[in-house]
Structure 1
């Protein structure tokens, strides 16, 4: 369904203009976007985290998932799971259902994820564009104080590690809230995807519902199905592909599988 904050793209040129809309910073004399991007192959997909999709309305299961992940991840570097924040990032990175949602600083990587699924070329795609700077300014102190002290716009894991448990994190807020933070550089995939995570203080909250209550913080860029193939081909030419975003043989195979699939 088309909403008030939706922009329907009619050309590649308009798409490129739209993702960089409002990125000019006159005080700096530079283009510096305050937006995080998330590309989805289907316009109707919700911004549900993987924990909610997997476990439903059972928030009590989150603790046990993460506890057992930390317990049995014996082959990983113990420094990667020494705090629950690091364990949460590592778990998300390896496919465990968590309350985190993947975002990127790069609008072109978001375009990739909106167009990579060839089974969805009969469906309009979407790029969510969220002003993470304004979102993070809404968090209560002492969290907000950390951003001011560090003179940055996104949280880091190091800044969040003062909060020692998910329960403590949830109790900082009186209502549903979201913040954006940068993961540590676990491997090339996180680095190449220019990754950013959102996290809410409720594992079963749906980010769409929160954003709708804050319409000044987001836009949705709709990529019509008729335009997807053109966008996809131009991204391939620009080397925004699985081969780069998923370094290794798995990413290479995914790229080749899609690249040589005949258009139906």
Structure 2
């Protein structure tokens, strides 16, 4: 795995731009800690040590979700993508076609404020592997290894985030240890000293909670952030 460190949005752009002739083969994921592995939530503790598998977790979620939202028309693939975007621990790992979206998630993780104590990271994954054929694999629980899944736009969040996924047949499988032949993985480390500045620059370009979470939750989160971090006086 290659690695580089950046201290500005311009430097980040320069790293991404090195591969501009193959952009369609690159996918991006932001993580708030540089030592985190590329492993789905269902493959991490405390979920990993539980006796029930991630399929049982999804089935429990689905039984309750049908009473809260109209998801009966969705395939299992689509429903699992919706569950992932609403926080369920699944075998899916989020990626994006948009490197700036990935940078946002690296800076914030799941928090309202940027953590300026630690470096964060954007992973860039190069792959020419075909996306999984969901017609032939009707269930996300009958695949083997790690494959890529491009969901239909079944929620505004997936659309806005440019969301795609890697699907890990055993959720504890980490991508960096299971790359396919000819795949590449680049680790772009974001220096902690510039994280706050980068968050403000991203928001100026519309990459913020409001843009990535087009609902009342995203709006509220963005207004809170802007009130604390931006000076419009």
Flag whether TM exceeds 0.5 (same fold).
yes
Q: Is the counterpart of residue 239 in structure 1 residue 195 in structure 2?
A: no
Q: Distance in 2 between matches of 1:262 and 1:255?
A: 10
Q: Contact between 2:149 and 2:165, CA under 8 Å: does it hold in 1?
A: yes
What per-residue deviation string (whole Å, max 9, x for no partner) do you get for residues 126-172 of structure 1?
Answer: 00000132xx2xxxxxxxxxx5xxxxxx44xxx323223455323xx
For these two proteins, the number of residue pairs brought into alignment is 224
Say which of 208, 211, 221 aligns to 2:188: 221
The correspondence of residues 1-264 of structure 1 with structure 2, limited to 5 A, is 5-24=2-21, 32-53=23-44, 54-58=46-50, 60-75=52-67, 76-80=70-74, 83-116=75-108, 117=111, 118-133=113-128, 136=129, 147=130, 154-155=131-132, 159-166=133-140, 168-170=142-144, 177-211=145-179, 217-261=184-228
Between Structure 1 and Structure 2, which shows a larger proportion of helix residues?
A: 1
Contact 1:35–1:105 under 8 Å retained in 2: yes
Moved over 6 A (4+): none
CA distance in 1, matches of 2:173, 2:49: 9
Deviations for 1:86-144, whole angstroms, at most 9, x for unmatched residues? 232222122221000111000111111122343521111100000132xx2xxxxxxxx
Cα RMSD after superposing both structures: 2.4
Residue 222 of structure 1, CA deviation? 0.7
Using the TM superposition, name which of 219-228 and 67-76 deviates more: 67-76
Query: Compared with structure 1, are the counterparts of its residues 217 and 260 closer, same or farther at alpha carbon in structure 2 (3 Å cutoff)?
Result: same
Q: Which structure has the bigger radius of gyration?
A: 1
Shift of 1:227: 1.6
Using the size of structure 2 for normalisation, the TM-score is 0.85
Consecutive unaligned residues of structure 1, counting only runs of 5 or more, are 26-31, 137-146, 148-153, 171-176
Distance 1:36 1:69, change over 3 A: same
